[in-house]
Amino acid sequence: MTNKTYQDYVEEIDLQRYWLVLKRRWLPATLVLGTCIAGSVFVALTRDPSYSAEGSILVRPDLTPTLTGVGTDIRELPISINNLQNQSSVVLSTAVMQSAIDNLGLVDDDGVPLEPAALSSKIKVEPADKADILQLSYSSDDPDESAAVVNAVMDAYLERDILSNRLKAATAREFIERQLPIAEADLDRAAAALQQFKDANGIVVLEDEATVAVNAIADLDTQIRTVSSTLASANTQASELQKQLKIPLEQAKRIEALSQSTAVQQALKDLQTAQAELASQRSLYRETHPTIINLERRVESLQNLLSERVQDIVGTSSLDSLGNLQMSPLDQQLTTDLATAEVTRSSLASQLQSLVTSRNRYAERIQAFPTLEKRQLELTQRLKSAQLNYENLLASFQQTQLAENQTVGSAEILERAEPASGAGSLLIPALVAGTFLGSLLGVACAFFLDLVDKSVKTAKDGEMLLGYTLLGLIPKFRARAGADNLAASLPGRIDALRSSVYIPALDRDQPMVSAAFQMLQANLKFTSSDTSHRIIAITSSVSEEGKSEVSANLAATLAHSGKQVLLIDADLRSPSQHHIWDVVNRAGLSQVLIREETHQDVTHKVFENLTLMTAGALPPNPLAILDSERMADMLQQLKRQYDYIFIDTPPLLGAADAAVIGRMSDGVLLVLRPRKVDSANAIAAKSFLERSQANVLGVVANGVDINNEHGDYVSRIRAGEYGKLPLPEMQTAVR
């Protein structure tokens, strides 16, 4: 059993299912198709002959954009689809139609001038493929009129196009005249702004100034490196001289000046002589001796004299800060060299500072160049833009003056319409259109009728809808035949069988039906391979699905295979087994259940191995006697006497008899007849069985039309494949 739900199956795109819909509804679909074809042929035959004339117009781009400053040759501009559509609307405009009507004097059937809308509705205007061409066509019963109308419309369109172009040129010229003074003022302002910028920043040629500044910085960098190197050498030399001299340069200069002064050196010499004599006398006399006192006074006097002379030369009288007042020639030379080195170093430092200052000024100027260049570029571009705009406007002004005086449009006639030599036949197009429309409507009608019909259409639909195993497919069979056919097919005794009895499952002329019941018998056996299903209730969703026929034929098939079979007609509402087997329904099941008769007294041996228990008299409340212990006990007693007991029960919907008997049985066999039961009743019956907790063995599709079944189901009917079992196993089961 497939796992698909019925909803999944209904929504599945199944081409075979659609084909079956058309097969079922072929008659209304064919009627719709034939009606459409007949109607189209009638319309084609009753219409007057029509003559069609065609003409074409080459459409160029609109001239107006070039007149307002685009500056492109109009022949280089592409034609867009939208432009062709716009021009198609222009061709069908009221003004063009009215001009053509006036030129030709067109009138309607009443002699009244034709309305523009009436003419435009008959004219077809279509853009040509891959070309800037409009194709015009008009059909009429007069070939000369059709050609004249097309030509008149094209002429009217060209006249309107010329007037439109001249009007556009005049409008463009007026616009340019208003824009020229504004553009000239913008040009003057842009030139003045650029000149003011150059004057404010001292710019002549900004690019040359930048080059000069870069070269100057490079030269200054070279000089700075040279001076820095020389300054470093001078610093090194001064440091070495300072180390050799061992005293500060200023002090050395003072000592050198004192060394070269005769007065200072004489005073120093006298002081040294007096100090030496004082030291000598102190070794001879006491401090209080007059000689010592006089020498001390002399030394003091000489020191004062020396201080005065030093003060006059070096500007200080402090002898201690000067140190030695005499200098050697070497020290004098070192002092001179150190002074020279200090002067050189100072000069180089000043020169270096000057070079760095100059370089910084150039660097600051260069840093300002990008901003100045950007601003100059903006002003220059503004000036160029204003100048270009002014020049374009001036050139466009001259073009508009020329265009305004010309009588050339943006379109021209490529091919004028000629009168048609013969009328076009409408029969073939009408047949094609009628067939196409009829096919669509016929298919739509078929599907609509099938959609409105809520019945279960096919055995596959029933299987998918109910979700039960499909145990058998019983095809439709011919009407009742004589008893001779049946007698020839039955071995053994048939004395109780009357001439009106017809069981198609045992008819050699119905091999397909016979095989179908044999496969149903085999499938029933395999469903009870683990559990014995000997008492089987047979029911249906609604009446007229053939449950009684299936019961009789299945019972006959099993009896024919050698099984002892009892067929009970438990449909106490509308019994039919006594009609099928042509027996008298004098007493039956109802009498047994109310204990008026025994089951041995009401059974009929219809033929070998098959016994029938008719329904008997119809009770007022069948459910009361069926849902009883007497019924259950009777079934258990009969189960010991027969191999199979088939119970023909009423339909599920409308009575609970089948559900009650189904609980007493080993299983329930549900008969479904396509096109007889609808989906709602089938689902309701399934729900009823589930609530009654009956053991549903499966479904038997009865009265199946192989022409309205899916391909796999048709192959099962024709090849004898009716269940889920392989064919060899089924045949073994039948044997």
Q: What is the 3-state secondary structure (H, E, C) of 413-459?
A: EEECCCCCCCCECCHHHHHHHHHHHHHHHHHHHHHHHHHHCCECCCH
169/406 Cα distance (integer angstroms): 10
- Among 202-206, 444-448, 511-515, 540-544, top mean pLDDT goes to 540-544
Q: Using CB atoms within 10 A of its CB, is residue 155 exposed (0-12), middle (13-18) or buried (19+)? A: middle
364 with 484, same domain?
Answer: no
What's at 248, amino acid-wise?
A: P
> How many C-alpha atoms does 426 have within 13 Å on its Cβ side?
17
CA–CA separation, 696 and 716 (whole Å): 23
Biggest alpha carbon distance in the chain? 203
User: What strand order describes the sheet that includes 603-607?
Assistant: 470-475, 696-704, 667-672, 535-540, 644-648, 565-569, 610-613, 603-607
Query: Residue 10: what pLDDT?
Result: 46
The domain that contains 615 carries what CATH number?
3.40.50.300
- Helix and strand numbers (H, E) in the chain are 27, 12
Mean pLDDT, the chain, rounded, equals: 75
Q: What is the pLDDT of residue 690?
A: 87
- List pLDDT tens digits, range 613-643: 999 999 989 998 998 889 999 999 998 899 9
Higher pLDDT pick, 494 / 452: 452
**Highest-scoring range by mean pLDDT, 516-530, 634-648, 679-693:** 634-648
Residue 65 pLDDT class (50, 70, 90 cuts): low
Q: Percent of the chain having pLDDT more than 90?
A: 9
Query: Is residue 301 in some structural domain?
Result: yes
pLDDT score at 565: 94
Pick from 503, 523, 600, 610: nearest CA to 567: 610
CA 429/CA 427 separation, integer angstroms: 6
Task: State the pLDDT confidence band at 70, using cuts at 50, 70 and 90.
Answer: very low
pLDDT score, position 475 = 86
Same domain as 492, residue 355: no
**Domain count of the chain?**
2
Please state the rounded mean pLDDT for residues 418-435: 68
Mean pLDDT of 151-179: 82
Last residue of a domain, one of 314, 343, 368: 368
Look up residue 490 and give its two tokens. 């039955």
Length of the chain counted residue by residue: 735
Report the alpha-carbon distance of residue 461 to residue 20 in Å, rounded.
Answer: 12
Give the mean model confidence (pLDDT) for residues 128-154: 81
Contact call for residues 652 and 699 (beta carbons, < 8 A): no
Burial grade of 414 (CB within 10 A; 0-12, 13-18, 19 or more): middle
CA 147 to each of CA 289, 319, 422: distance values in angstroms, whole numbers, following the listed order: 167, 139, 13
Averaged pLDDT for residues 77-100? 75
Residue closest to 455 by CA, chosen among 254, 130, 678: 678
HSE-up (13 A, CA, CB side) for residue 532? 8
pLDDT tens for each residue of 33-55: 788 777 777 676 666 566 778 88
Both 549 and 690 in a single domain? yes
Question: Quick one: pLDDT at residue 62?
Answer: 60
The arithmetic mean of pLDDT across residues 665-682, rounded, is 87
What are the angstrom distances between the C-alpha of 356 and each of 216, 222, 345, 346? 12, 11, 16, 16
Going from the C-alpha of 384 to that of each of 186, 190, 699, the distances in angstroms are 11, 9, 94
- Residue 73 pLDDT > 70, yes or no? no
Q: Sign of the CA dihedral 392, 393, 397, 399?
A: positive
Confidence bin at 494 (pLDDT 50/70/90): very low
Give the position of tokens 């049985």.
Answer: 665
Strands (E), 212-331: none
Q: Which domain holds residue 666?
A: 471-734
| Full-model pTM | 0.46
How high is the pLDDT of residue 536? 92
Asked if residue 371 lies in contact with residue 364, where contact means CB atoms within 8 angstroms, the answer is no
Sequential DSSP letters for 681-722: HHHHHHHHHHHHT--EEEEEEEEE-GGGS-HHHHHHHHHT--
pLDDT band at 473 (very low <50, low <70, confident <90, very high): confident
Q: Has residue 394 got a pLDDT over 60? A: yes
CA angle, 533 then 536 then 541, to 5°: 135
Minimum mean pLDDT range among 88-97, 99-108, 256-265, 394-403 = 256-265
pLDDT grade for 318, boundaries at 50, 70 and 90: low
Residues 6+ apart with CB under 8 A from 432: none
Name which residue leads in pLDDT, 100 or 212. 100
Answer whether residue 31 is part of any domain.
Answer: no
Average pLDDT of the segment spanning 216-240: 80
Find tokens 């212990």 and name the residue: 629
In a domain, 561, yes or no: yes
> With b meaning 16 or more CB within 10 Å and e meaning fewer, what string describes 477-508?
beeeeebebbeebbeeebebbeeebbbbbbbe
Q: Which residue has the tokens 């006491």?
A: 286
Query: Residue 52 has what pLDDT?
Result: 77
Say if CB 601 and CB 611 are below 8 A apart.
no
Greater model confidence, 404 or 168: 168
Region 510-539: mean pLDDT is 81
The reply to whether 357 and 479 lie within a common domain is no
Domain boundary among 331, 351, 368: 368
Identity at 554, one-letter amino acid code: L
- Res 709: pLDDT: 64
**Residue 202 reports pLDDT greater than 70:** no
In whole angstroms, give the CA distance from residue 255 to residue 311.
Answer: 12
Burial grade of 356 (CB within 10 A; 0-12, 13-18, 19 or more): middle
**Nearest C-alpha neighbor of 592 from the set 636, 620, 630, 641:** 630
Summarize the confidence of residues 197-204 as an average pLDDT: 70
Q: Which of 304, 309, 189 is nearest to 257 (CA)?
A: 309
Mean pLDDT of 261-286: 73
355 within some domain = yes
Q: For residue 724, is pLDDT > 70?
A: no
Within its chain, how far is the Cα of 513 from the centroid? 56
396/538: higher pLDDT: 538
- 477 and 362 in one domain? no
| Residues 487-495, mean pLDDT to the nearest whole number | 44
Is 145 within a domain?
A: no
Are residues 489 and 354 part of one domain?
no
User: In angstroms, how far is the first alpha carbon of the chain from the final one?
Assistant: 26
Distance CA 509, CA 506 (A): 9
The residue to which tokens 């006089």 are assigned? 294
For residue range 99-114, what is the model confidence (pLDDT) as tens digits?
A: 888 888 888 777 788 8
User: How far is 159 from 529, CA to CA, in rounded Å?
Assistant: 96
Outline where DSSP puts E strands in 434-569.
470-475, 535-540, 565-569
Average pLDDT over residues 461-486: 70
Contact 487, 509 (CB under 8 A): no
Nearest to 664 by CA among 677, 685, 649: 649
Q: What is the mean pLDDT of residues 431-436?
A: 77
Residue 253 belongs to a domain: yes
Residue 425 lies in a domain: no
475 and 353 in a single domain? The answer is: no
Per-residue pLDDT, averaged over 60-89, amounts to 57
pLDDT greater at residue 537 or residue 467: 537
CA distances from 139 to 55, 56, 122, 124, 229 (A): 12, 15, 7, 9, 105
Domain limit, last residue, from 368, 394, 409 = 368
Cβ(410)–Cβ(179) below 8 Å: no
| Inside any domain, residue 356 | yes
If we measure between CA atoms, which residue out of 581, 513, 549, 579 comes closest to residue 673? 549
